[in-house]
Structure 1
Amino acid sequence: MLAYTVVDAFTSEPLTGNPVAVCFAADHLDAATMQRIANEMHLSETTFVLAPQSGGDARVRIFTPVNELPFAGHPILGTALALSQRTRSRSLALETAMGLVRVEVEPRGAQGGRVRMSQPVPVWSPYQRSTELLAALGVTTPALPVTQYRNGPRHVLVGLDSVSELVALTPDQRRLAEHEDMSAICFAASGEHWRMRMFSPAYGVAEDAATGSAAGPMAIHLARHGKARFGDQVWIRQGVELGRPSDLFAVAHHGATAVESVLVSGDAVTVARGHLLL
C-alpha cells in the first residue's frame, strides 16, 4: 500500500485552491510507475516523497499527468504542509531537481497552515514565438513585453490591459499545444491584487487553478516593468474562472546587480488521506 494525502494549496478553504496528491515513502517506485499514478490521480500535479540524498529532510519528485517537472510551486507548498503534519516539523528543506527548497510551515487550525518557500531564481529572455502564442491565446496587443521565465518549468508571461479581457480568454488549446515545454501565464491588474490565468496543454493542464512556480516570476516581471517594486509583496489571485479561487503571495529581492531571492507563500489545507492498493 502507498499512503497519500490530498492538499488544497493556496487556500484555507477546502475544495478551493489547487489540489496536489502527496505520496509518501515512494522510494520503491520507478519513474514509470510514478507517472502512471499521477495520471491515475489526474490532478495537475502529484508528488512522491523519497529519502533525502543531499542533506535535506526529504527528496520530492513532481509529476503532471503527462510528464515530470524539476520544480513546481503548489506541489511543494502542499507537500510541505503534508510532511509537517506527519513529522510535526515547522522548518523543512526539500530536495528537488532544481536544488534545495527551504520551507516554513505555520499551523493554522486542525488541518491547515501557512507555508512560505524559497524558490529558484529564474532566468528570463524574450519569447521568440510570441506572435504565434498571442494568436493561440486570442490576444491582440499585450500590455507588457512577452517574456519567458524558467525556474524549472518555463512560464511565458503575457500581460493584458484589463480583467475583463483576461476573463474573456478562450485559448485555442490545439495551437497552444504546439508550444512545447511551457505554460502561458496571462495576467491583469485588479485593484490591490493581480488576476492570473495559466494555460498549459504541453504540461497536460488545460488551465491551472494556482501556479506557484509562476508567482515568483510574476513579482520579478512586474518590478522589471515598473508595475511593482522589488522587495514589496505581490498578491496574485488565480483559479476564479475554474471555481477554485487561490491566493498567492510573492516577493522578489534585488541586490546590487541581480535578483537574489524569491519567496512565495500561501495557505494550504489537507482534505483527504488514503492508500493506493498497489
Structure 2
Amino acid sequence: MKNIMKESVYHLLDVFTNQRFGGNQLAIFEDATEIPTELFQNIARELNLSETVFLYPKNDQGHYPMRIFTPVKELPTAGHPTIGTAYFLAQKYPQQIGQLELIMSQKIGEITVKVDISSSGVTMATMYQIDPIFGKVFDNRHQIADLLSLKESDLLAYPIQEVSCGVPYIIIPVKTIKNIENIIFRTDIWEQLKPLFNENSVYVFTPHGTLPNGDLHGRMFAPELGVNEDPATGSANGPLGCYLFKHNIKKGPLISEQGFEMGRPSILHIHIENEGDKITAVKIGGQAIIVGRGTFFL
C-alpha cells in the first residue's frame, strides 16, 4: 500500500527588486500549521535559499507569526524575509490606495512593516528594525583586508565595527567600487577570524554607488549561516545606516546597492531617523515580485 504524502505549497519571491531574477530569493510556506516544526530546518536546507519563511495564520492580536530559516539555522529576524512576506500578505488584502500596516511576530519580537499601495499595486514595503547596538571595534586591519583578498590601503580610515539591529554584522568600509568587485572571500582566513568575530557575518561597503541615484554599494558574506554570499540583506543595511550616521559618513535617506557582483542586482532603501545624536528609528524598505510557486511533499 502506498504511503499518502501531504502536500504543502510554497511561493517563490525575488525581494529588493521589481525585476524577475534579481534581488534575493525567498520561499514562503503560507500555512506552516500543516508542516511538522521538526521539518522546518530540513526543508530550508533542501530548498537551499538564503532564507525560507514558515508563515502562520493571523493570531488573536492581528499579528502574523513567522519563522525564518537559512539552510543551517533559524534566525531571530531578517530583512528580506520580512519585506517579502509583507509584500506577499499585502497581495491578499483588497486593493486600496494608501498604507497598510502589518505586524510580524518573529523570534526577536514584534516587527512593524508598512506597505505602500497605489492604484497599480504594492509599491514599497518598509520594516522597522530594533534600535542599534554598537559593539566591538577591530584593529587587526591587515588580517581583515587579507580576508577579502584586498590590501590594507584599500580600507577606509573609519572603524571596522560590529553593529546590530537584531542580527550583528561586522561592518567593513572600503574605498572604491573596484575594491568591492575585487573581493575574494578567503575561507582559510575566516577560520582564523571567526572566533574573534563571534562567527558573525561580514558586510563590506563603499560610500559610492554604480547607479545614478546610488549612495552605497556592498557585499555580504555569511559562511556560518550556510550562505557564502547574500544578494540583498535588509538586516545588514539597517546596521549599516546606523554605522554611517554614528561616524558621520552619510546621512539622510540612502539607496544601497547589493548583489550586483552575483548577477542579482538589489536595491535597498535606508532611512535613519534621529533626534540630535540619538537614533530614534531604523527603517529598511524595498520592493518584491512573486515569481513562482511550488509544492513540497511531506
TM above 0.5, yes or no, is yes
Per-residue deviation, residues 14-36 of structure 1 (Å, max 9, x unmatched):
11011110111113434431011
Aligned to 2:202, which of 172, 176, 184?
184
For residues 271 and 175 of structure 1, what CA distance do their matches in structure 2 show? 37
- Alpha carbon RMSD of aligned pairs, Å? 2.2
TM-score relative to the length of structure 1: 0.91
Return the letter of the residue paired with 2:259.
G
> Whole-Å Cα distance in 2 between the matches of residues 164 and 239 of structure 1?
14
TM-score between the two structures when normalised by the length of structure 2: 0.85
Range moving further from structure 2, 194-203 or 27-36: 27-36
Q: Which residue of 1 aligns with 2:159?
A: 145
5 Å-filtered alignment, 1:30-45, equals: 30-45=36-51
The alpha-carbon deviation at position 269 of structure 1 amounts to 0.5
Deviation of 1:219 (Å): 1.1
Measure how far apart 1:87 and its partner are. 4.0
Q: Which structure is larger by alpha-carbon Rg, 1 or 2?
A: 2
State the Cα distance separating 1:127 from its structure 2 match.
4.0
| 1:238 counterpart residue number | 258
CA shift in 2, pair 1:22/1:130, >3 Å: farther
Question: Which range moves more in the overlay, 256-265 or 174-183?
Answer: 174-183
What corresponds to 2:85 in structure 1?
79
Q: Which runs of 5+ in 2 are unaligned?
A: 1-6
Change (3 A) 1:42 1:108: farther
| 1:197 matched residue in structure 2 | 219
| Separation in structure 1 between the aligned mates of residue 184 and residue 170 of structure 2, nearest angstrom | 17
- Flag structure 1 segments of 5+ consecutive residues without an equivalent: none
Aligned partners of 1:249 and 1:87: how far apart in 2?
24
> Which aligned runs of 4 or more in structure 1 are off by greater than 6 angstroms?
108-111
2:205–2:217 Cα contact (<8 Å) kept: yes
Q: Which amino acid aligns with 2:70?
A: T
Partner residue, 1:171: 185
Distance 1:239 1:57 in 2: 31
How high is the sequence identity, in percent, across the aligned residues?
29
Q: Using the alignment, how far apart are the partners of 1:77 and 1:27 within structure 2?
A: 21
Q: Deviations over 1:119-169 (max 9, x none)?
A: 112211224585444432234143120111122322110000111111101
Cα offsets for 1:16-65 (capped at 9, x unmatched): 01111011111343443101111111110001112456834211111000
Count of residues in Structure 1 that have an aligned counterpart in Structure 2: 276
Change (3 A) 1:10 1:70: same
